[in-house]
Structure 1
Amino acid sequence: MRIKWFSLIRITGLILVLTYHFFQTKLTGGFIGVDVFFTFSGFLITALMVDEFGRSNRFELISFYRRRFYRIVPPLLISILLVIPFTFLINRQFTTNIGGQIVAALGFTTNYFEIANGGSYESKFVPHLFVHTWSLAVEMHFYIIWGIIVFFIAKTCRRFSTKRALPNFRITLGITAVVLAALSFLMMDFGTKGLTDFSKIYFSSTTHSFPFFVGCLFGTMGGIKYQPTLFKKITRYINRYLAISLMTICALYLLYLSYTLKFDQVQVYQGGLLIASIIAGVMIIGARILHDQTTNIAEPRWITFLADVSYSVYLFHWPLYVIFSQLMKNWQAALLTTILSIIFSALSYYVLEPLIAGKNVHLFYDSLRWSPLRLLFAGSTLILAVVTGVQIKNAPKLTTLEQNLWVSGIYQSVDKIDNLHGQILADSQSKDGQNVSDIPKGVTIIGDSVTLGTRQYLSEHVANSDIDAEGERTMDKAYDIMMSKQRSNLLRKEVIICIGTNSLDDYELQMMKIVKDLNPGHKLIFMTPYNSKAESDWNSSKLTVLEKKLPEKFNFITIANWDQVAGQNPEVFAGTDGVHFGGRLSGDELYAKVINTGLLDAKKTEVKK
């Protein structure tokens, strides 16, 4: 039994995800489209489970897993095989560890693969081509756990009379869904504490499974064929226009959330995703009611088509977009990605998937049998598998930027050992009565991953510099580093703070602590952060504005305008996340030039009194 207008739920989720990936700076909260999918999956799966139990008084777990396998795995495998040949069009950096990505995708562990490798949903450095399959991993984990739970609930409820078995089954599922949704949401809420990058709790199956269970709850309330008596009574008082209004209001609210939410906002994980899931659930109920109220109206074929291919479009769109965005303008990449994704998805859903399942293919009203296509299908699959194997074998293990970060981290560790030796020596001299209060000459640079990526070049091209850089470093951590060096008399005369891309909400407070607690005798240089994707209301952008006003108030502060210079040289960031410059020498040179210019400007200022 196909429910009309459920297609609109799938299409809504797909549009939100596509527009978010294509125009991330505009539709900053479009990632909630994934939660719309999650909620719908939870609803549909649970409603079908209720139908199966109502029909046969049992739930067949193996059959459930078999259906899920054929719906999820073949399209995934097809998308990987068809996408890999396109990777020959772009830099090898984008195939870094592609073998690990494919294994994680097919093993439904991409979410934990990304967590283990420090991956980010808003792709840092060079984006992984199959990072989007994290959602399939969460979905598969949900199917496995929920299937087992429902199996045992069904066995228990079978002991009741036929009249009470289905209501008890439905109520038990609903209560279980509420408990599991609450546990998952609370784990996400508590997990936000102390985080600046929320990818870890966003990817995790334990913290991000609550949308499924919200959908499960709605599935027990609405259902498909076997509906609760109360639901039937309520729907009698809701006509098609009220149902359409309900769906429209929900869709508009989801669109509003997609424009207002941002991935780095803690509020997203402390209620934003839960609200989006509940709204999606209400929209699903609206569609279910509209189905009953439009018995004489057929769902438009184009809506059904888009719903049919939506899952495969999701699989194809991200890697194709990453590839095409390196070859053409963004709008062109988005358009070509959409067209090819729909074509490949239609081929997958209507032809290849039925063939894999051993079914006849109905194409343009003609029935195609498996036997004549067997050789063509097997040969094409073999060729694509060989191509994929070649790319896996030739793929680099690390990107150039990651290699630079790794090497720079080693050099920094060596320097820290040397600094520790100097600190011990200074303490020893202090005990012998020698004066160590004089500020060391030279430059102390305190930076984040951008600085770490070019650390070796800076050490050779910024005279007498001591560099301390670390990925994900925020202004409060930079303050701690500065104070530690200051207490140890290792903080040099010119202090450069290259922090800001990872800006927390208290960025102004932390910045002013640095200004206030820097000892007299130093000069302070703030290097403004740069992110090509940042809007004016991002914390990093607001921090830049504040930093540029500081020299008007403090005569010992100078600004190194990295945001301005970087913005004038976009080619340095081609093919990157718009923050790091991928280990390019031109980026190293530009970064060092801005720092040295800032030091020259600082010579014209006084030290802190």
Structure 2
Amino acid sequence: MSAHSYSEVAPLPAPTQGRRHLAGLDGLRALAVLAVIAYHYAPAGMPGGFIGVDVFFVISGFLITGLLVGSIGRREPMGRFWLRRARRLLPALVIVVLVCSTAALFVGGDVLAGIGSQIGGAFTFSSNWVYIALDQSYFTADAPQLFRNLWSLAVEEQFYLLWPLLAVLLLTRMPRRGRAILPIVLAFVSVLLMVVLYPQGGDPSRVYYGTDTHFFGLALGAALALMLDGSARWDPYGTESGGERFTRRWAPAIGVLALALLAVYAVFVPDTSPFNYDGGLLLVSLLAAALVWSVTRSGSVLGRVLDMRPLRAIGVRSYGLYLWHWPVFVLVTAAFAVRTDASPWTVSLIALAISAVATWLSYRFIETPVRTKGFGVLSRPFSGAWRGRPALLAATGAASVLLVVGVVGTSAAAIEGTKGTAAQQQIEAGQRAIEQARRSPPPAPTAPPSGRTGSTPAPLPSKPAPASSPSAAPATVTPPTPRDGSQISAIGDSVMLASAPALVQAFPGIDIDAVVSRSPRDAPGILAQKAKAGTLRSTVIIGLGTNGYLGTGTLDRDLAAVGPDRRIVFVNIYADRPWLGEVDDDLAAFVTAHPNTTALADWHDAIASHVNLLGPDHIHPGGEGGVLYASCVASALDRLR
């Protein structure tokens, strides 16, 4: 063995080693998980709260590397490290997946979409790659995956499958001062991959989900732990050197500044901003590392503030809260979907309350006992009662088997019940229609009897059903008279995608570019790219807004991107989203201000009285709903002539 042997490895203090509690980290965990919950439950208030995951990555990389330093220093088998990780992660994960899968079976509907692959990804820690392989977006607001949030757990565990092996080499073969170089290099390689692979103007889910493109926070946390390994800064009674003087003087200000900048980022930088994927998330990780460095130093005032009891109580349970909050929110949202009068705030508060209770029960009765005493502890409460009581033993065993079989069985039934969910069927039908239209030459359009090239809006029932009555008799919608679509480009989200079969029939030759989760802020970049490539046609239909606010200047940039020789039809939205009113009002005002080059397809008013033409999610149109969507577009095109 080289001169840099195990004997030179100084264990890094960490809470589980009993050396010293690192102040502030539980509070940071609490702030991170609260930011993520706010992002998921109320995205309008904290559109950048998703960066809480990147803060988690830095903290996790920092702490786990500290544990590795101690474990390797004590010459513990690496299997013991992985066993501790299993005891920490698996109990809560198994409970969440089985309970929420069972609940999904009873809720039914679109929450069952793809649940089989999600469960498989959860238990193999490969969720992120499963979602990439299935081309499922992290940012969609339309048909969210029940266990979408498990992608980050997968990234962590994949990183920690290989990182311990590299850590052994670093800690036994390299000088102390050079050990942090490798994780820093790996971090910047990951950032570079994110920048290079990010599709400008497209859905960033691939680079967001990818382990290769998004492990830099974990690597930077690991680098920080290695840089601080053995430093006298951990010892409040150590001799102060130049480095310790710098820490004492500047660490408080750096920590406060880093925390403030992270808060500003969470409030003002949405997930759709290209800045995130061109270096913004690296900035977040660097700020998080600076914050960890500041709060964990001896005597840190900021660390003590973050260690306040409420924050610390949330922080120590943050793992369970992160696991529970998203699937519970999806389930509660689906359960309330039939209640059009249910406020989004009501849904969020109910989901938060259920998540908090489930987290507390899991932490108290499952996670803590297993983490501290091993998996066998789950059977110990019954051991004393079983002695000398075979009947009680048999009854308890039978009840336990029935419970396990019941939960697992209903989870399996949930997997089987994934077939035929409405939103998924509608979107897949739209994708097939677009692909078939691209392969086949468009049929010759039939001239309308009146000789006009346009069409009138589709007739609706004389007595429309109220919006709160989805069970009302379905409307019979007359399809618009087909017209030549060879000069029409359409750009939209999953609502347009679900309407694609009707659009293809109404406008043979139309070019439809619609994807799930597309943000309205993506439109200017997409339009500019198509115009530059010469594929943007003379009439443009834009159906965006379901997945977020338009953003300042987006419509002006749309108009500039299409140029003065093209016209635009904007389709407004109908969805239970907090931004619905603002988006529709902005579109109406913009069209009024530009009457010669734009027109409005009023999808909102057309479908509001006929929600029976929508799927169970009250967002995606079914067959006749798509025909009504096409009729709205046709009517708007008439006004442009």
Establish whether TM, by shorter chain, passes 0.5. Answer: yes
Q: In structure 2, do the counterparts of structure 1 residues 542 and 114 end up closer, same or farther at CA, with 3 Å as the change threshold?
A: farther
| Secondary structure of residue in 1 paired with 2:569 | strand
Between the aligned partners of 2:409 and 2:535, the Cα distance in structure 1 is: 55
How much does 1:27 deviate? 0.5
Query: Which of 407, 420, 430 matches 1:384?
Result: 407
Between the aligned partners of 1:297 and 1:73, the Cα distance in structure 2 is: 31
Aligned residue number for residue 350 of structure 2: 336
Between the aligned partners of 2:381 and 2:246, the Cα distance in structure 1 is: 44
Deviations 1:498-540 (A, max 9, x none): 355599998756644645445xxxxx45133538558699999
Query: Is the CA contact 1:126–1:575 (under 8 Å) kept in the aligned structure 2?
Result: no
1:271-420 matches, cutoff 5 A: 271-290=279-298, 301-326=309-334, 327=336, 328-354=342-368, 356=370, 359=373, 368=381, 375=397, 379-396=402-419, 399-419=421-441
Structure 2: 5+ residue stretches without partners: 1-17, 337-341, 387-395, 445-481
Cα RMSD (Å): 4.3
How much does 1:281 deviate? 1.5
- Counterpart of 1:527 in structure 2: which amino acid? F
Query: Is the CA contact 1:535–1:541 (under 8 Å) kept in the aligned structure 2?
Result: no
Q: In structure 2, do the counterparts of structure 1 residues 97 and 294 end up closer, same or farther at CA, with 3 Å as the change threshold?
A: closer
- Counterpart of 1:388 in structure 2: which amino acid? S
| Secondary structure of residue in 1 paired with 2:145 | coil
- Greater alpha carbon shift after TM alignment, 372-381 vs 304-313: 372-381
How much does 1:104 deviate? 0.7
How much does 1:568 deviate? 8.9
Query: Is the CA contact 1:85–1:387 (under 8 Å) kept in the aligned structure 2?
Result: yes
Between the aligned partners of 1:330 and 1:536, the Cα distance in structure 2 is: 12
Structure 1: 5+ residue stretches without partners: 158-167, 423-439, 519-523
- Greater alpha carbon shift after TM alignment, 300-309 vs 288-297: 288-297
How much does 1:171 deviate? 2.6
Between the aligned partners of 1:301 and 1:9, the Cα distance in structure 2 is: 13
| Secondary structure of residue in 2 paired with 1:129 | coil
| Secondary structure of residue in 2 paired with 1:120 | coil
1:596 aligns with 2:596: no
Aligned residue number for residue 428 of structure 1: none
Deviations 1:397-454 (A, max 9, x none): x5433323333443444444442798xxxxxxxxxxxxxxxxx964555323433311
Between the aligned partners of 2:133 and 2:560, the Cα distance in structure 1 is: 35
Query: Which of 251, 257, 266 matches 1:258?
Result: 266
Query: Is the CA contact 1:84–1:388 (under 8 Å) kept in the aligned structure 2?
Result: yes
1:559 aligns with 2:612: no
| Secondary structure of residue in 2 paired with 1:324 | helix
- Counterpart of 1:338 in structure 2: which amino acid? L
1:87-106 matches, cutoff 5 A: 87-106=104-123
Between the aligned partners of 1:593 and 1:203, the Cα distance in structure 2 is: 38
Aligned residue number for residue 94 of structure 2: 77
Aligned residue number for residue 497 of structure 1: 541
Query: Which of 166, 175, 178 matches 2:184?
Result: 178
Query: Is the CA contact 1:562–1:591 (under 8 Å) kept in the aligned structure 2?
Result: yes
Q: In structure 2, do the counterparts of structure 1 residues 529 and 37 end up closer, same or farther at CA, with 3 Å as the change threshold?
A: same
- Counterpart of 2:85 in structure 1: which amino acid? R
How much does 1:345 deviate? 1.9
Deviations 1:355-407 (A, max 9, x none): 5568289x9xxx957665984655533321122122112222x5433323333
Instruction: Give % identity.
Output: 22
Aligned residue number for residue 165 of structure 1: none
Between the aligned partners of 1:231 and 1:316, the Cα distance in structure 2 is: 46
How much does 1:342 deviate? 2.4
Query: Is the CA contact 1:247–1:283 (under 8 Å) kept in the aligned structure 2?
Result: yes
How much does 1:248 deviate? 4.1
Between the aligned partners of 2:315 and 2:239, the Cα distance in structure 1 is: 26
How much does 1:15 deviate? 0.9
1:469-480 matches, cutoff 5 A: 469-472=512-515, 474=523, 475-476=526-527, 479=530
Q: In structure 2, do the counterparts of structure 1 residues 587 and 482 end up closer, same or farther at CA, with 3 Å as the change threshold?
A: farther
Between the aligned partners of 1:86 and 1:383, the Cα distance in structure 2 is: 12
Query: Is the CA contact 1:221–1:231 (under 8 Å) kept in the aligned structure 2?
Result: no
| Secondary structure of residue in 2 paired with 1:348 | helix
Query: Which of 42, 47, 62 matches 1:23?
Result: 42
Aligned residue number for residue 63 of structure 1: 80
Deviations 1:16-64 (A, max 9, x none): 11111110122000000000100000111112223344x53x4642222
Between the aligned partners of 1:267 and 1:599, the Cα distance in structure 2 is: 36
Between the aligned partners of 2:484 and 2:300, the Cα distance in structure 1 is: 77
Aligned residue number for residue 216 of structure 2: 210
Query: Is the CA contact 1:235–1:289 (under 8 Å) kept in the aligned structure 2?
Result: no
Between the aligned partners of 2:535 and 2:185, the Cα distance in structure 1 is: 46
Between the aligned partners of 1:355 and 1:35, the Cα distance in structure 2 is: 28
Q: In structure 2, do the counterparts of structure 1 residues 293 and 28 end up closer, same or farther at CA, with 3 Å as the change threshold?
A: closer
- Greater alpha carbon shift after TM alignment, 121-130 vs 259-268: 121-130
- Greater alpha carbon shift after TM alignment, 115-124 vs 264-273: 115-124
Query: Is the CA contact 1:61–1:151 (under 8 Å) kept in the aligned structure 2?
Result: no
How much does 1:253 deviate? 2.2
- Greater alpha carbon shift after TM alignment, 329-338 vs 240-249: 240-249
Query: Is the CA contact 2:258–2:291 (under 8 Å) kept in the aligned structure 1?
Result: yes
1:147 aligns with 2:170: no
| Secondary structure of residue in 2 paired with 1:395 | coil
Between the aligned partners of 2:300 and 2:636, the Cα distance in structure 1 is: 69
How much does 1:65 deviate? 1.3
| Secondary structure of residue in 1 paired with 2:317 | helix
Count of residue pairs the alignment pairs up: 549
- Counterpart of 1:391 in structure 2: which amino acid? A
| Secondary structure of residue in 1 paired with 2:139 | coil
Q: In structure 2, do the counterparts of structure 1 residues 484 and 421 end up closer, same or farther at CA, with 3 Å as the change threshold?
A: farther
Deviations 1:246-287 (A, max 9, x none): 544433322111011111111111222112112212221222
Between the aligned partners of 1:587 and 1:405, the Cα distance in structure 2 is: 13
Between the aligned partners of 2:143 and 2:101, the Cα distance in structure 1 is: 17
1:582 aligns with 2:620: yes
| Secondary structure of residue in 2 paired with 1:206 | helix
How much does 1:3 deviate? 2.3
Aligned residue number for residue 267 of structure 1: 275
- Counterpart of 1:137 in structure 2: which amino acid? A
- Greater alpha carbon shift after TM alignment, 256-265 vs 227-236: 227-236
Query: Is the CA contact 1:59–1:154 (under 8 Å) kept in the aligned structure 2?
Result: no
| Secondary structure of residue in 1 paired with 2:297 | helix
Between the aligned partners of 1:513 and 1:526, the Cα distance in structure 2 is: 14
Aligned residue number for residue 452 of structure 1: 497
Between the aligned partners of 2:568 and 2:277, the Cα distance in structure 1 is: 35
How much does 1:600 deviate? 4.2
Deviations 1:275-324 (A, max 9, x none): 21122122212221255779999955544432221101100110001111
Query: Is the CA contact 2:110–2:143 (under 8 Å) kept in the aligned structure 1?
Result: yes
- Greater alpha carbon shift after TM alignment, 327-336 vs 140-149: 327-336
| Secondary structure of residue in 2 paired with 1:26 | coil
